[in-house]
Amino acid sequence: MDFGFTPEQETLREEVQGFIAEHVTEELISEIDDFGENTRGPLARELYKEVASRGWIGISWPKEYGGQGGSRIDQYIVEEEFARVGISVGGAGSGAPAILAAGTEEQKKHFLPGLINGEIIFALGFTEPQAGADLAGLQCRAVRDGDHYVINGQKMFTSAAHYATHIYLMARTDPEAPRHRGISIFLVPMDLPGITVRPLWTIQNEPLAPTGTTYGTARTNEVFLEDVRVSSDALLGEENMGWYVGAMGLNLDRVGANRYLISVRRDEDIINWVKENRFESYSPAEEDSVRDRLAELWIEAQVCRLMTMRSMSIVERGGEFTYEGSAEKVWAPEHGVRTTETITQILGPYAQLLQGSEDAVEEGLFAHNVMGSFQSGINHGSVQVMRDQMARRGLGLPRG
Ligand SMILES: Cc1cc2nc3c(=O)[nH]c(=O)nc-3n(C[C@H](O)[C@H](O)[C@H](O)COP(=O)(O)OP(=O)(O)OC[C@H]3O[C@@H](n4cnc5c(N)ncnc54)[C@H](O)[C@@H]3O)c2cc1C
């Protein structure tokens, strides 16, 4: 079995690297990393259009909806190179997999080209104050009224809602049905009357995490929906089947270069730091225990990458994709947490100094990553829930 890329794929990677070297400036990165109010400012929008014009966004999506009808692996290569410099270019997390699988022809024709050229951005509206890991307990209600639905409820941790054009919203359409069966998904424009977005600041906001922090988002949101009237065209898939549409979309959205790199960038950062720096009293690079640990982390990172490539390969071949994304979502964030534990051992007390502290290492990058790593095992599906899915779907064990 050959795990390598084809010569054409290596050429694509070089082209993307060349493009990044030319177009991704420090100014652009600091605009994207401006964790405050806006994460897609003018420079980022311009870059996004340039990338799209080269056919690099939605490479694997069908041509009739603006994609290239190409390979998921090619798409991965583009995503990976951009993710390495901290930029997400479509693909996983875009909401597209579920629209492609369950959307109407009109929805595909409207949303996919918009996602490719960057004019449409989704926020994920699943979690509620009383429904996180236990998502099936959600209470947001959508009631049919002629050719509209009227939506009332509250969403929590709705990242990107402050600049998204649409919310990918899960709501209860049949309160009498068993919990998983009375739920539907709506693609709701954010500018409809009755939608209010309020900031929910995270631990990375005060002091603000420095550029390059992985899991450094300083802002997520609460979204309130009061008598929001949305056209019935906004329904994605069949009414009351939203649980299954959402689960499939989330599962596919979990795989990809962004997820993999969020988890391994921290060990790349610490390995590079150790190679180039030393403390007055000791040089970490010369300590056997540090060298051993960093080598172990590197091996774990390769496992993360192989798991991602396996998922890509299954998607590419149109295979059944059930528990593999869950396995990746356990291994990668937990690897990230293990890395931050190692960072605290190498840096000692310096690992606690955040941005703004005089003696902070790398402006507090490592310290902010230590703080941020723990949420990685919770968001986008917690590791406990993922383990349960693997036990059932992967190992064939009964529901716990
Ligand atoms: C920074 C951030 C960004 C987010 N962005 C979004 C977003 O854009 N859109 C969105 O919809 N959601 C988002 N989320 C929400 C995220 O998906 C939820 O936090 C997650 O589902 C857990 O829900 P909860 O916070 O209510 O925790 P809880 O459900 O209270 O769970 C707390 C802990 O208990 C564990 N637990 C709960 N029940 C069980 C059980 N039965 N067995 C074993 N363990 C259990 C969980 O695994 C978890 O570790 C985000 C969260 C964070 C932190």
pLDDT digits (tens, 9 = 90+) for 118-151: 889 899 999 999 999 899 999 999 999 999 999 9
Are residue 196 and residue 129 in the same domain, yes or no? yes
Same domain flag for 365 and 311: yes
For ligand 1, the distance from its centroid to the CA atom of residue 378, given in whole angstroms, is 5
Residue 127 CB less than 6 A away from ligand 1:
yes
CATH number at residue 290: 1.20.140.10
Contact call for residues 328 and 308 (beta carbons, < 8 A): yes
Q: Above 70 in pLDDT, residue 35? A: no
Clarify whether residues 297 and 333 are in a common domain.
Answer: yes
User: Is the CB of 389 inside a 6 Å radius of any atom of ligand 1?
Assistant: no
For residues 324-335, average pLDDT = 89
The answer to whether the beta carbons of residues 252 and 321 sit under 8 Å apart is yes
Distance 135 CA to ligand 1 centre (A): 9
Specify if 344 maps to a domain. yes
**Residue 308 near residue 259, CB atoms below 8 Å:** yes
Domain assignment present for 114: no
Is the Cβ atom of 378 under 6 angstroms away from ligand 1? yes
Least confident range of 11-15, 107-111, 213-217, 389-393: 213-217
The DSSP code sequence of 101-156 is HH--HHHHHHHHHHHHTTS--EEEE--BTTBSTTGGG---EEEEETTEEEEEEEE-
Residue 327 domain flag: yes
Residue 72 is part of a domain; what is its CATH number? 1.10.540.10
Question: How high is the pLDDT of residue 37?
Answer: 46
pLDDT of residue 23: 94
Instruction: Indicate whether 144 and 54 sit together in one domain.
Output: no
Taking the C-alpha atoms of residue 141 and residue 94, their distance in angstroms, rounded to an integer, is 24
Same domain, yes or no, for 371 and 275? Answer: yes
- pLDDT category at 19 given cuts 50, 70, 90 is very high
In a domain, 98, yes or no: no
Give the relative orientation of helices 257-276 and 288-316 as an angle to the nearest 10 degrees: 160
Q: Which of 192, 209, 240 is the last residue of a domain?
A: 240
Q: How many domains does the chain have?
A: 3
Tell me if 336 is assigned to some domain.
yes
Residue 102 counted as domain residue: no
Handedness of CA 368, 369, 374, 379 (dihedral sign): positive
Q: What is the mean pLDDT of the chain?
A: 89
Query: What pTM was computed for the model?
Result: 0.91
**Residue 205 confidence (pLDDT) above 80:** yes
Instruction: Kindly state whether residues 285 and 221 are assigned to the same domain.
Output: no
- Domain assignment of residue 32, given as a range: 7-91
Distance 389 CA to ligand 1 centre (A): 15
Give the Å distance between the CA of 273 and the centre of ligand 1.
32
Q: Is the pLDDT of residue 93 over 60?
A: no
Q: Separation of 105 CA from ligand 1 center, angstroms?
A: 33
The answer, yes or no, to whether any atom of ligand 1 lies below 6 A from the CB of 376, is: no
Residue 108 placed within a domain: no
CATH number, domain at 223? Answer: 2.40.110.10
CA distances from 219 to 88, 158, 201, 257, 333 (A): 17, 9, 5, 23, 20
Query: For residue range 215-238, what is the model confidence (pLDDT) as tens digits?
Result: 777 889 999 999 999 999 999 999
Check whether 58 has a pLDDT greater than 70. Answer: yes
Q: What is the pLDDT of residue 36?
A: 47
Beta-carbon-side half-sphere exposure of residue 111 (alpha carbons within 13 Å): 30
Residue 118 domain-assigned? Answer: no
Question: Which of 185, 214, 240 finishes a domain?
Answer: 240
Residue 326 alpha carbon to ligand 1 centre in Å: 15
pLDDT digits (tens, 9 = 90+) for 181-195: 999 999 999 999 999
379 lines ligand 1 (CB under 6 A): yes
Residues 263 and 389 in one domain: yes
Quick one: 86 and 130 in the same domain?
A: no
**Pocket test residue of 138, 259, 373, 384 for ligand 1, highest count of atoms within 8 A of CB:** 384
270 and 384 in a common domain: yes
Residues 293 and 380 in one domain: yes
